[in-house]
């Protein structure tokens, strides 16, 4: 099967990494895969050299949109894909408009977030919804949000297909744990908390930093020593650094930038934490669970579908509740829960399982 995956870009986000993982697995199953990016960001890429990458480098102008549509149509006429599968808001709208031009025989549009933007985006999404052959979303909770926001009128207008991860890559490794903790100058008794994500407002790292500050205050009388590592980059880096310094946490919070060996960092940590305001189905939580890590998370969309221990799910934006959950996670032995969580990920969210679901949709 010839598959064209269309994405806004290939930045460091979970949706972009998902696209690369899908491409690799499609190739492994002997399909032909091309990825078309609307912009020129290529911070992640598939491992397979058999995946063909194209970039439109579109400018954010009406002429840039028209030129992009013309170039995309020419590409589609050249490769003749059996299915076009777009991901995220801009690529979804772009491909729906492109389909009006008659270039796409079958179009699958996937939403990766529960909140695609304001009223204007909601209206555009609703009006163009019928132009796709199938519209999908990554979690049941995100679908409920789409219905509540009026993006779609009924839940049966979209199909839920979750994200998938490489469970062979993401698994606990004692050797990786020792290596990373040594490189990061972590002591044996340091409780290492890790978070991964774009340093942007929806990820709400400010609340995470506030909760970590409360955690260090409450643990001052105990022998527990906490360190927080944040993997990612984004426009809020300087603002978050200032917040860390204002609370005197410069030695305890590490901004780790972009890391391409996140599976090793997950093995090195003791607790994984998510503080997002909105999600679809967070890939990093799935990767942490596959590495048998304890997860503390804000109660955003998709989290309850993944995290079994509901005591470790806290209200969005509640730094006090998150601090208490982190303290609880650090003081309890949850190894059996972690092993059960890995089995759940293997059975329902492995990339092989998810690709099989996509192929069923493509072949309808």
| Mean pLDDT calculated for residue range 38-52 | 92
Q: Tell me whether residue 336 is exposed, middle or buried, using C-beta atoms within 10 angstroms of its C-beta: 0 to 12, 13 to 18, 19 or more.
A: exposed
Residue pair 94/68 in contact (Cβ under 8 Å)? The answer is: yes
Among 34-48, 60-74, 106-120, 329-343, the minimum mean pLDDT is found in 329-343
- Give helix 319-331 / helix 205-218 axis angle, nearest 10°: 60
Higher-pLDDT residue of 222, 289: 289
CA 281, CA 324: separation in Å to the nearest integer? Answer: 24
Segment 248-307, tens digit of pLDDT:
999 999 999 999 999 999 999 999 999 999 998 999 999 999 999 999 999 998 999 999
Residue 97 pLDDT greater than 80, yes or no: yes
What's the pTM? 0.89
- Looking at residue 117, its pLDDT comes to 75
pLDDT tens digit sequence for 191-209? 999 999 999 999 999 999 9
For residue 179, what pLDDT is reported? 98
DSSP symbols for 121-173 = HHHHHHHHGGGSSEEEES-HHHHHHHHHHTSSSSGGGSEE----B-TTTSS--
Residue 245 has pLDDT above 80, yes or no: yes
- Compute the distance between CA of residue 353 and CA of residue 164 in angstroms, rounded to an integer: 8
Q: Over range 232-254, report the average pLDDT.
A: 96
How far CA 158 is from CA of 113, 143, 222, 244, in Å, comes to 14, 8, 50, 42
- Kindly tell me the burial class for residue 333, based on how many C-beta atoms sit within 10 Å of its own C-beta (0-12, 13-18, 19 or more): exposed
CA-CA-CA-CA torsion sign (337, 338, 339, 343): positive
Residue among 160, 239, 159, 176 at smallest CA distance from 205: 239
Question: 60 and 31 in contact (C-beta within 8 Å)?
Answer: no
- Domains identified in the chain and CATH numbers: 2-164+350-362 (3.40.50.2000), 174-348 (3.40.50.2000)
Run of H or E including 70: helix 62-79
Percent of the chain residues past pLDDT 90, beyond the cut: 83
Tell me how far apart the alpha carbons of residues 188 and 317 are, in angstroms, rounded to a whole number: 31
Scored b (16 or more CB within 10 A) or e, 248-286 reads: ebeebbbbbeeeeebbbbbbbbbbbbbbbbbbbbbbbbb
Share of the chain above pLDDT 70, in %: 99
User: With 90 as the cut, is the pLDDT of residue 356 above it?
Assistant: yes
pLDDT bin (cut points 50, 70, 90) of residue 47 is: very high
pLDDT exceeds 70 at position 225: yes
Per-residue pLDDT tens digits for 126-155: 999 999 999 999 999 999 999 998 889 899
pLDDT band at residue 334 under the 50/70/90 scheme: low
Q: Where residue 333 falls among pLDDT bands split at 50, 70, 90?
A: low
Q: Using only the alpha carbons of the chain, give its radius of gyration.
A: 21
Asked whether residue 221 carries a pLDDT value surpassing 90, the answer given is no
pLDDT of residue 335: 64
pLDDT of residue 22: 97
Question: What does the pLDDT average to over 326-344?
Answer: 84
User: ∠ at Cα 14 (13, 18), nearest 5°?
Assistant: 120
Query: If we measure between CA atoms, which residue out of 324, 281, 315 comes closest to residue 297?
Result: 315
């Amino acid at each position: 099967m010839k598959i064209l995956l269309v994405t806004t870009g290939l930045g460091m986000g979970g949706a972009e990494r998902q696209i690369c993982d899908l491409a690799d697995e499609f190739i492994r199953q002997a399909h032909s895969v091309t990825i078309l990016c609307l912009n020129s960001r290529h911070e992640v890429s598939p491992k397979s050299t058999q995946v063909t990458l194209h970039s439109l480098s579109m400018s954010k102008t009406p002429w840039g949109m028209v030129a992009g549509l013309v170039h995309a149509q020419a590409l589609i006429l050249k490769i003749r894909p059996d299915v076009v599968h777009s991901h995220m808001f801009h690529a979804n709208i772009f491909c729906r408009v492109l389909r009006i031009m008659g270039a796409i025989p079958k179009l699958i549009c996937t939403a990766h977030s529960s909140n695609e933007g304001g009223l204007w985006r909601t209206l555009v999404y609703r009006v163009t919804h019928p132009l796709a052959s199938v519209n999908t979303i990554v979690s049941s909770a995100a679908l409920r949000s789409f219905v509540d926001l009026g993006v779609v009128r009924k839940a049966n207008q979209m199909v839920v297909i979750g994200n998938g991860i490489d469970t062979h890559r993401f698994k606990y490794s004692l050797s990786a744990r020792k290596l990373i903790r040594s490189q990061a100058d972590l002591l044996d008794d340091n409780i290492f908390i890790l978070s991964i994500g774009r340093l942007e407002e929806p990820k709400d790292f400010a609340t995470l930093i506030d909760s970590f500050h409360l955690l260090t205050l409450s643990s001052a009388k105990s022998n527990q020593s906490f360190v927080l590592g944040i993997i990612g980059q984004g426009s809020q880096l300087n603002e978050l650094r200032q917040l860390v310094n204002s609370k005197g946490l410069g030695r305890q919070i590490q901004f780790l930038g972009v890391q391409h060996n996140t599976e090793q960092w997950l093995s090195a940590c003791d607790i994984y934490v998510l503080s997002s305001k909105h999600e679809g189905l967070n890939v990093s939580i799935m990767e942490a669970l596959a590495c048998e890590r304890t997860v503390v998370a804000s109660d955003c969309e998709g989290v309850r579908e993944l995290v079994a221990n509901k005591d470790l799910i806290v209200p969005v934006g509640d730094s006090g509740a998150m601090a208490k959950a982190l303290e609880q996670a650090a003081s309890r032995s949850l190894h059996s829960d972690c092993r059960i969580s890995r089995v759940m990920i293997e059975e329902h969210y492995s990339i092989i399982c998810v690709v099989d679901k996509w192929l069923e949709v493509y072949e309808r």
